[in-house]
C-alpha cells in the first residue's frame, strides 16, 4: 500500500501534479491523507495525557492512533508538500505530531535507541517552490531526519521543482524536468531488479 500524504492546498497545485506523475509509475493501492482537511486536536496537555494513558494501557486501537497505524503499515510513503516559509505547510507538522507515537511508529531499545515499527522501504518527498529553495534543513531535512532516526526507511528521495515563479522562468519546463527525474529514478529501479 502507498500512503499519499498530501499537504497541498492550492486547487492547481504543481506539487500535486508531480506527485500524480509519480503515481503513474507505481502499481499499488494508494491511500490518501489530506493534511489540510484533518480535524486533529491540539497537541496540548490534555491530548498528551490521554495518549500517554492509552500507550501505558496498550490500547493502540484507539482512534487517536489511526493515522500512526496507517503510516506504520504503509509499504511506500509519498509526501507532497509545497515549500512554504523555509519549510512546509503547518498541517504537515501537526500530522507528524500525531503519528509519532511510541510503540506504534517507533519504540526504544533498553539503551534508548529508537527502533522502527514502520514497514516502508521507500519515501518520496515532493516539493515545489516559486523561488529558490534556500535550505532543505527545515522541510525535506526535517522529514529525512524523522525517516532516518525514527522510521528507519532505507530509501528517502526528494523530487523538487524550484524557481517556478521567478520572472522569466519557464515553469512548465521546470515541472517537466521534475517528471523526468522521476523517469530516471524508475529507470534505475528497473535496472536494479533486472541485474
- CA 48 to the chain's CA centroid: 23
* pLDDT, position 189: 63
**Pairing relation of β-strands 106-108 and 114-116?**
antiparallel
Percentage of the chain with pLDDT > 70? 96
Q: Would you say residue 191 has pLDDT above 70?
A: no
* pLDDT, position 190: 59
The total of structural domains in the chain comes to 1
Convert the pLDDT of each residue in 72-109 to its tens digit.
999 999 999 999 999 999 999 999 999 999 999 999 99
Three-state SS at 87 = strand
Q: Give me the long-range contacts of 59-62 (CB less than 8 A, separation at least 24).
A: 60/103, 60/104
* pLDDT, position 116: 95
CA 106, CA 72: separation in Å to the nearest integer?
Answer: 9
Q: Quickly state the pLDDT bin for 179 (edges 50, 70, 90).
A: very high
* pLDDT, position 187: 82
- Scan for cell 509519480, then name that residue: 22
Domain that holds residue 138: 2-194
* pLDDT, position 160: 96
CATH number at residue 87: 3.40.50.360
Q: Which residues on adjacent β-strands are paired with residue 4?
A: 32, 78
Convert the pLDDT of each residue in 30-62 to its tens digit.
999 999 999 999 999 999 999 999 999 999 999
Cα angle 21, 25, 31; round to 5: 80
Q: Would you say residue 175 has pLDDT above 50?
A: yes
Angle between helices 66-73 and 90-99 (to 10 degrees): 90
Q: Would you say residue 71 has pLDDT above 50?
A: yes
Q: Report CA torsion sign: 16, 22, 24, 29.
A: negative
Convert the pLDDT of each residue in 114-142 to its tens digit.
999 999 999 999 999 999 999 999 999 99
H-only helix segments in 27-89: 45-56, 66-73
Record the pTM.
0.93
Amino acid at each position: 500500500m502507498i500512503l499519499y500524504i498530501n499537504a497541498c492546498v492550492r486547487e492547481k497545485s504543481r506539487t500535486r501534479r508531480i506527485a500524480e506523475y509519480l503515481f503513474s509509475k507505481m502499481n499499488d493501492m494508494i491511500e490518501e491523507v489530506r493534511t489540510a482537511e484533518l480535524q486533529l486536536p491540539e497537541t496540548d496537555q490534555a491530548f498528551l495525557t490521554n495518549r500517554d494513558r492509552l500507550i501505558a494501557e496498550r490500547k493502540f486501537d484507539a482512534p487517536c492512533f489511526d493515522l500512526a497505524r496507517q503510516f506504520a503499515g504503509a509499504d511506500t510513503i509519498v509526501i507532497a508538500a509545497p515549500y512554504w516559509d523555509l519549510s512546509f505547510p503547518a498541517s504537515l507538522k501537526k500530522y507528524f505530531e500525531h503519528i509519532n507515537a511510541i510503540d506504534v511508529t517507533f519504540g526504544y531499545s533498553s539503551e534508548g535507541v529508537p527502533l522502527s515499527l514502520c514497514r516502508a522501504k521507500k519515501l518520496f518527498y515532493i516539493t515545489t517552490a516559486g523561488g529558490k529553495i534556500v535550505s532543505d534543513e527545515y522541510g525535506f531535512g526535517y522529514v529525512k531526519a524523522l525517516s532516518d532516526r525514527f522510521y528507519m526507511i532505507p530509501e528517502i528521495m526528494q523530487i523538487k521543482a524550484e524557481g517556478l515563479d521567478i520572472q522569466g522562468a519557464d515553469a512548465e519546463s521546470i515541472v517537466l524536468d521534475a517528471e523526468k527525474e522521476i523517469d530516471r529514478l524508475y529507470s534505475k529501479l528497473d535496472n536494479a531488479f533486472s541485474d
